[in-house]
Amino acid sequence: MPVTMCATLAEPHAPGTDLVFCVPLALAWRKLQDRFGPLRFDPQPFLADALNRVPLDEVIDPSWCVSGAGFGAEGILERLRSELHGKFPDADPRLLPSSLAPDALLAYGYLSRNLRFPTPFALRDLCFQGQYVRAFGINDGLHPDNPARCAQVVAHDYVSSDEFVIELCAGHTEDRILIAQIPPCSRLGVTVGAALDRLERLRPEDRALRSDEELSVPRLQLEVNRRFDELVHRPLRNQELQGKTFDEVHQRLKFTLDEAGARVTAEAVVHGYGVPTPKRYFIVRRPFLLMLIRRSAPIPYLALWVETTAWMQEQPAPVPPAFPTIDPSFWTGPRPR
């Protein structure tokens, strides 16, 4: 099934296509904007305008993430690694470069969040789009009346069994795990807005799940990567970035939702490699001058201008390797006469 990693919520829906949005790329982009202003390219891609407009205020808590932007000479790579190690000792960043040239530009975003249900839900099977899948819910077949599990579910809107909005509560955190089975709109962001508009539509007394009501949510486990090639190799027009380009814009995400909770780890990198250092070849194959000289002397005490091989030890030219021959004992067909 096609899966599209979205840099922003402006991604349009497409039949049969899963969409995945997470904020690390927007976090990295915001750090670039904080320093250089809204990013401008030549020509300007739609995605750049969309990233310039992503609202991040109150979206995340700084304790959940690491982000930064700067040049190699400023020690940005070392600062990011130090902050990652301090906040997330078990982090396994894959997109941070191993080294950074002094004039290379790096922007990076990392997010990690682990939400646990106080009472794990029960395992179930579920028929999703005609396919049976592993799921979780209230009833485990042995203890259908489970108040602790029911208390972890809030019903916000209910039109029918085909259209509803619920919330799964992960302890006493400020996080909300929302599941909205609603018709898609034109774009992911519009669908998100439609779901948020349905919160708390039900009367308070109807928001609690009753012991005789059913809940089944598919387990999810995904790992998605995407390179945003529409943002690379385009000259930047910002005053401090004239002549530079982004050589890599990449985001990866791992997410699981199961009976125990929800876990997300995501990172993104925006990387301009800087001016590459050309490989140098010091191969003496033309006439040359050789000198032996003391550091304080005005002239060398030996100088050689070498133009022929007269003073060199000549070697025979290398013989090209012969083509391998076939051992007649390996011949399987009729032997040649």
The domain ranges of the chain are 3-116+221-272, 122-218
Specify the pTM: 0.81
Q: What is the pLDDT of residue 109?
A: 97
User: Which residue shows structure tokens 């089975």?
Assistant: 181
Q: Distance from CA of residue 34 to its chain's centroid?
A: 21
Please tell me the predicted confidence (pLDDT) of residue 298.
Answer: 58
pLDDT the model gives residue 134? 87
Which residues sit opposite 225 in a β-bridge? 252
* CATH 3.30.60 fits domain 122-218: no
Three-state DSSP class for 239? helix
Q: What is the 3-state secondary structure (H, E, C) of 117-177?
A: CCCCCEEEEEEECCEEEEEEECCCCCCCCCHHHHCCEEEEEEEECCEEEEEECCCCCCCCE
Task: Give the position of tokens 């930064």.
Answer: 68
Q: What is the distance between the alpha carbons of residues 225 and 262, in angstroms, rounded to a whole number?
A: 19
What 3-state class would DSSP assign to 187? strand
Around Cβ 66, how many Cβ atoms within 10 Å? Answer: 25
Half-sphere exposure of 6 (CA within 13 A, CB side): 18
CA distance 41 to 165: 40
Contact by Cβ (8 Å): 77, 46: no
Nearest Cα to Cα of residue 231 among 18, 50, 31: 50
Q: Provide the pLDDT for residue 280.
A: 57
Write the DSSP string, 245-270: --SEEEEEEEEEEETTEEEEEEEEEE
pLDDT at 227: 96
Per-residue confidence (pLDDT) for residue 303, from 0 to 100: 45
pLDDT tens, per residue, the chain with 337 residues: 578 888 988 988 988 888 988 889 999 999 999 999 999 999 999 999 999 998 888 888 899 899 999 999 999 999 999 999 999 999 999 999 999 999 999 999 999 988 899 999 999 888 888 888 888 888 876 666 788 998 998 899 898 888 888 888 888 777 888 988 888 889 888 888 888 888 899 999 999 988 778 888 888 988 889 999 999 999 999 999 988 899 999 999 888 889 999 888 999 999 987 655 555 555 555 664 544 544 665 544 454 555 666 655 555 666 665 555 444 444 445 544 4
* One-character DSSP codes across 58-121: TTS-GGGEEEEEEEGGGTHHHHHHHHHHHH-TT---SSS-S---TT-EEEEEEEEEEEE-SSPP
Question: Which residues are bridge partners to 217 per DSSP?
Answer: 136
